[in-house]
Structure 1
Amino acid sequence: MHEVVNPFDLSVIGSVPTHDWEAVDAFLARAKELSEDRTAWKKPHERAAILHRAMEIMKDRRDHLAMQVAAEGGKPLIDARVEVDRAINGMELCIHEIGSLKGTEIPMGITPAGDGRLAWTSREPIGPVVAVSAFNHPLNLIVHQVAPAVATGCPVIVKPAGDTPLSCFEFIDILHEAGLPKEWAKAVVTPRDVSSKMVADPRVAFFSFIGSAGVGWSLRSQLAPGTRCALEHGGVAPVIVDKSADLASAVPSLVKGGFYHSGQVCVSVQRVFAHSAIIDELASAMVEEVKKLKVGNAIHEDTECGPLIRPKECDRVAQWVDEAVSAGATLLCGGKKLSDTTYAPTLLLNPPADATVSQNEVFGPVVCLYSYTDVDAAIAQANSLDVSFQAAVYTNDLAGAMHTYRHINASAVMVNDHSAFRTDWMPFAGLKTSGHGVGGIPYTCHEMTIEKMIVIKS
């Protein structure tokens, strides 16, 4: 059995079974059989009914699921409840997408070669799905990877993060309770070599990955020919704050975007480029708000920043901050471990461009402020990294907003909102080394199907 601990006090809170290659091989074999036996495919109304029943079960267990997210993942309970609500809404989105999985007519007769023909497409499940997930949203990420497979009729095997498997295993159990045969959805915890072998198996039709870039790109390189994939990695999210920005609304937004889940979010605010005319006022206001954040055990109602997922991550963040301060950054607040598992919410002013906190995703409660006088130079610095995901700009100048939108490297730009904003139906995509493919429930449902054409000559 694999034990799971609360990342704040490292107390054991549960366990899940582990799986060797023999078990995974059997799951893959059965998934392949189900995909090839069209008589075994679930009808659309059957898939919708299963997802609807599962959604109702999740509603009934909302408080339990939220507490579980907080206990195993360290996400504050106030935010864990939001995650559960999003997961429930994600189920509804998947039900809706079942009715949207349709093809299109292909025009014929545009050239003489097409005369006398009628053509259209329909959508079919792509086949067995293998998903590997991350720790930071232990229920909602699983819903994003698994529920679209159920909606589209694909058998799915999901490997949650070893730190946070409880929510995943419970979600799979809920699907089974709702009527999905167990062979159609399996949760596994495996050693790394078994995971790699599972992902690389030629029976896998679609691979979904959420996690670090190094692991994601490595696994992609091991995929069998023909396996399609979607990879979601991290970024070092840049934010532009110009001198016209409304700081009264920008400050709480930036603090939430930077310190939500202690910065353990792939599009968390990390690099804030503020005009020199307002940076002192912005920094002072942010320090005031950041110092108010309550750090503690995520299962407590008043906690706003929970622990980092593992003690070694706390040590890593401390090392990065100490390095930046030694290199010339001004420590505005924080900058210290509060315990083996928690780190004080930290603001740094003008760390060097080559400092680790300026170059790499910190995935911790650290936000860096940089002063600029030329917005194009700030955008150039924002664009200088090999990552690109979501970005933001705070401004009351429409021309300035559009200038940043057009010139900053990002798949999405938020105007007067933080970079971590997301709804579960919008496209969510990392560019460059930040990912491959497009997430978001409608887009994932599309990726888990193939478009099949029929051409009739008459």
Structure 2
Amino acid sequence: MLKQSYPYYLANKAHTAKAQLDVRDKYSGRLAARVAVPDARAVEKALAAAVAAVGPMRALKPWARQRVLQHCAARFEERRDELAKALCIEAGKPIKDAAGEVTRLIETFRIAAEEAVRVNGETLNLEIAPRLDGYRGYTRRVPLGPVAFITPFNFPLNLVAHKVAPAIAAGCPFVLKPSEKTPIGALIIGEVLAETDLPRGAFSILPVDGEHAAPLVEDERLKLLSFTGGQVGWTLKAKAGRKKVTLELGGNAACIVDADQAPQLDRVIERLVFGAFYQSGQSCISVQRIYAHAALYDELKKRLVARVKQLKAGDPKKKETFLGPMIDEAAAERLHGWIGEARQAGARLLCGGGRKGNMLEATLMEEVPREAKLNRQEAFGPFALLAPFETLDEAFAQVNDSDYGLQAGFFTDSLGHAMRAWDELEQGGVIVNDVPSFRVDNMPYGGSKRSGLGREGVRYAIEDMTELRLLVVYDV
């Protein structure tokens, strides 16, 4: 179970504080633990320590960075059950899903350990004209400097890992603000990092509120802000000044089911159920919009509704639970209100739609109006809409009729259709024969349009946390 209290981390060291943040069990509502909350002075100290650690972190050899990351992966493996239980309690994540996220935490640190020793440059051929005979060029990547991270509640381990592990591999000191709703996972990561020989100031983990996090956005000593969360990210970008900014801001992911999928409809339905309702739909790439070819639409709808009605909802600590609570009652109330608005506008409820506290039923709807919030905005909950299409042009147009573009899924047996989707869908990624919710931690991950800027995935994050340095040599 959880400890009664957790410290924050300032310049690699654990600190207590008079101010405390209550962390509650998201299913029972009972107090689960208290977390020390740093004040504005501590935030300033963390920034100053990160700046002071630039030289020592840059001097840390690749093999030493690798050993830190390997130590973390090994310790997370040893503490696997503790981490999963913490996730289950603070995030309300079903225990099976929590165990899966711990696995991804470990994998992400292992990937970063591999990448730490291959942050390479290249040799440039500069002899492109007679006047340049004898000149040779070389590049290498050097750490950007102190960086700031802000992470959301829905993946309290893995989204932290996708910032912290690349920073260590790149040699960048960092200051992290985890979500106040789910801070414990990040603090356990801090506890493990504190066991290592990282230079003093290499990391600080500060569970502060948005007001006290302002320096992480605005302070010009920081060289990068990496933010994962909602559309407020664009506001933060405007306040970030000259620093580099990467944003992952979610979406309303779509999935297309082609006409040739009737023979494997059972698998398609299982993946759609997973994509839409895994961890109560609280994923940036949760399946929110399902477009099925008219030839199989009615059959898919009938079987999908029947399957969704079978999902076990309830206490996330029980192994049989598939659908746990949303992060809080306000989130469930918001989405429940959107469902009501859509029904009033003519949408048809196929199943679900009920709410009790922060438990919202798995909900499917059809005939959702184009301008309804459920169609245009990010639902971020256990909801998906269905709509038929006649032609691929129509399906692609419906997917692209969105302000977002993170990932899309496309079930098809046609290579030609798959390549067209890759060409025409305005997305950061197209997943063929699976749902947009698919992610492997070494692949580039990010979106277009309002879904954000830049890419995560360990190697790609390292690129953002480093910069090229050129050397030109003339052979005298």
* TM-score normalised by length of structure 2: 0.93
Contact 2:348/2:367, CA 8 A, preserved across alignment: yes
User: Who is 1:91 aligned against?
Assistant: 109
One-letter identity of the residue aligned with 2:275: G
- For residue 37 of structure 2, what is the aligned residue in structure 1? 18
Counterpart in the other structure of 1:186: 204
Out of 175, 178, 188, the residue aligned to residue 157 of structure 1 is 175
Q: Say if 1:41 and 1:357 are closer, same or farther in 2 by CA, change over 3 A.
A: same
Distance in 2, matches of 1:313 and 1:90, equals 29
Encode CA deviations 1:356-381: one digit per residue, 9 max, x unaligned.
10111100000100122233123212
Equivalence map 1:286-325=2 (5 Å): 286-325=304-343
Q: State the partner residue of 1:66.
A: 84
Question: Which position in structure 1 is the counterpart of 2:374?
Answer: 357
1:228 pairs with one of 244, 247, 251: 244
User: How many positions carry a matched residue from both structures?
Assistant: 454
- Point out the more displaced range, 108-117 or 52-61: 108-117
What is residue 257 of structure 1 aligned with on the other side? 275
Which one is further off, 80-89 or 18-27?
18-27
Q: Does 1:390 align with 2:411?
A: no
- How far does residue 288 in structure 1 lie from its aligned partner after superposition? 1.2
Task: Look up the SS of the partner of 1:144 in the other structure.
Answer: helix
Q: Which residue of 1 aligns with 2:146?
A: 128
1-side partners of 2:66 and 2:414: how far apart? 46
SS at match of 1:277: helix
Matched with 2:254 is: 238
How far the C-alpha of 1:38 sits from its partner, in A, is: 5.1
Moved more, 313-322 or 175-184: 175-184
Following superposition of structure 1 onto structure 2, how do residues 27-66 of structure 1 map, counting pairs within 5 Å? Answer: 27-35=46-54, 37=55, 41-66=59-84
Distance in 2, matches of 1:44 and 1:401, equals: 40
Stretch of structure 1 that moved more, 401-410 or 52-61: 401-410
Deviations 1:292-313 (A, max 9, x none): 1111122221110111101001
Residue aligning to 1:105: 123
State how 1:142-153 maps to structure 2 within 5 Å: 142-153=160-171
Shift of 1:116: 2.1
Q: Which letter maps to 1:404? A: A
Distance apart, 1:11 and its partner CA: 1.2
Q: Distance in 1 between matches of 2:25 and 2:108?
A: 26
- The CA distance in 2 between the partners of 1:118 and 1:241, in whole Å, is 53
Tell me the percent identity.
36
Describe the superposition over 1:206-257 as per-residue Cα deviations: whole angstroms up to 9, x where unpaired: 11110002x11111111122x1121101111111112211212100010001
State the match for 1:450 in structure 2: 467
Which amino acid in 1 is paired with 2:76? M
Q: Is the 8 A contact 1:120 1:454 kept in 2?
A: yes
- 2:49·2:200 contact (CA, 8 Å) conserved in 1? no
CA offsets 1:45-96 (integer angstroms, 9 cap, x no match): 2111111111111110001101111111111110111110111011110111
2:146 touches 2:173 (CA, 8 Å); kept in 1?
A: yes
What is the Cα deviation at residue 181 of structure 1?
4.4
Structure 2 residue identity aligned to 1:433: R
Contact 2:172 2:202 in 1 (8 A): yes
The 3-state SS of whatever aligns with 1:192 is coil
In the aligned structure 1, how far is the partner of 2:181 from the partner of 2:189? 16
Shift in CA distance, 40/405, structure 1 to aligned 2, threshold 3 Å: closer
Deviates more, 1:171-180 or 1:132-141: 171-180
| Alignment check: 8 A CA contact 1:15 1:166 kept | no
Conserved? CA contact 1:31–1:156, under 8 Å: yes
CA distance in 2, matches of 1:237, 1:60: 35
The one-letter amino acid of 1:384's match is D
Residue segments in structure 1 that go unaligned for 5+ positions in a row: none
RMSD value, Cα = 1.4
TM-score (norm 1): 0.96
